[in-house]
Amino acid sequence: MLRYLLGKLAVLVPTFFGITVVAFGFVRVLPGDPIMLMAGERGLTPERHAQLMAQYGFDRPLWQQYLSYLGDLLRGDLGTSLVTHRPVTEDFLTFFPATMELGLCAMALAICIGLPLGVLAAVKRGSWFEQISMSAALVGYSMPIFWWGLLMIILFSGTLGWTPVSGRISLMYYFPQVTGFMLIDSLISGQAGAFRSAVQHLILPSVVLATIPTAVIARQSRSAMLEVLSEDFVRTARAKGLGPALVVGRHALRNALIPVVTVIGLQVGSLMAGAILTETIFSWPGIGKWIVDSISKRDYPVVQGGLLVIAVVVMIVNLIVDLLYAVINPRIRHG
């Protein structure tokens, strides 16, 4: 197990440095120098320009700048936003819980719907249930979710008036942030209706963000299940006289889960991409919207920092998934 972990880390470390190079290079390849970008339309006198270049260290050789960038990173310093003048790290920590809450809900939805759907489709092979669920999965897989979100708003917020259009909670509630998760904080606050409001705000964005992962998980668990069901040990279990629920639930599912876990892990990256769109549509104050807004405001330190942090978060989650994978699949661990 330790050797497996070390092997994984040996690949991750160069990838991490690659990510820092990309994030570091991003601001440098933009047309114009960084100081001019910061100054924006206001313009600068040549003296002030030179002074700022020296102050930020942009006049030093590139490799020195990169090293000091790495040094700052190690101290958790991602630079300062040009718009809010707050440290990027601080802004990130403000917005991250919202994305985390949305992402976790979407993932939970996707697993709770996708997995049973795929397993049932495999068990009931050739039935109308398989036809319908797999067609639906293909439609979900092909869905432009930014459009899907808009349709949901038209239907549930516009026509039916069931859910609010944007934000995380109604403005009439105010309570201190304890966990940063609106669902939990609203419960802790004890205010009547606050939790309900938080749920109402969360439900549409979660459904929209869960659409593609649900479809992917359903498709993958169906094909994994089909493969396992045709194997000898399943036939043996059946021959022993075990009931279908036991064969599927105990013997087959456990083995079918292995590829499904990988796919679930792979969804974390696409979940981040989905969050960019979903948060933009629902004005959800998470890191996806934060990055998109920063790009349009040309707030480059934020884009740079966000790019790095998101890539690192995805990388860490993938590592955790890899380890989980090794835990449930001994062949990998010892291979």
Q: Which amino acid is at 188?
A: I
Q: Quick one: 183 or 228, whose CB is closer to another protein?
A: 228
Residue 10 CB-density burial (10 A; 0-12 exposed, 13-18 middle, 19+ buried): exposed
- Locus of tokens 């290079």: 25
Q: How far apart are CA 6 and CA 310, in angstroms?
A: 23
Q: If you write DSSP's letter for every residue of 101-140 in order, what string do you get?
A: HHHHHHHHHHHHHHHHHHHHHHHTTTSHHHHHHHHHHHHH
Shortest spacing between CB 133 and another protein, in angstroms: 14
Q: What is the spatial distance between Cα 278 and Cα 147, in angstroms, rounded to a whole number?
A: 10
Q: Which is nearer to another protein, 257 or 310 (CB)?
A: 310
Min CB(176)–another protein separation in Å: 31
Residue closer to another protein by CB (options 35, 302) is: 302
Do 306 and 287 contact (CB within 8 A), yes or no? yes
Residue 152, CB-side half-sphere exposure with 13 Å CA sphere: 24
The residue ranges that bind another protein (CB under 8 A) are: 11, 14-15, 18-19, 21-22, 26, 29-30, 138-139, 141-144, 146-148, 150-151, 153-154, 157-158, 216, 219-220, 223, 263, 266, 269-270, 272-273, 276-277, 280, 291-292, 295-296, 303, 307, 310-311, 314-315
CB of 186 to another protein, least distance (A): 27
Are the C-beta atoms of 281 and 208 separated by less than 8 Å?
Answer: yes
Determine the 3-state secondary structure of 60 from DSSP.
Answer: coil
CB of 78 to another protein, least distance (A): 15
Task: Return the residue matching tokens 């004890």.
Answer: 190
Q: Which is nearer to another protein, 36 or 292 (CB)?
A: 292
Tokens of 182: 């609106």
Q: Is 335 helix (H, G, I), strand (E, B) or coil?
A: coil
Please say which residue, 18 or 193, places its beta carbon nearer to another protein.
18
291 close to 306: Cβ distance less than 8 angstroms: yes
Nearer to another protein among residue 186 and residue 220 (C-beta): 220
CA neighbor of 78 nearest in space, from 285, 293, 318, 291: 291
Nearer to another protein, 87 or 269 (CB): 269
Minimum separation from the CB atom of position 292 to another protein (A):
6
To another protein, the closest distance from the beta carbon of 34 in angstroms equals 13
Q: How far is the CB of 106 from another protein (least distance, A)?
A: 14
CB of 26 to another protein, least distance (A): 6
Tokens for 285, please give them: 């104050």
**Smallest separation, CB 249 to another protein (Å):** 22
Any idea which residue has 């008036």 for tokens? 161
Strand partners, 167: none
Name the residue type at position 286.
Answer: G
Nearest to 109 by CA among 215, 193, 253: 215
| Contact between residue 192 and residue 222 where contact means Cβ atoms under 8 Å apart | no
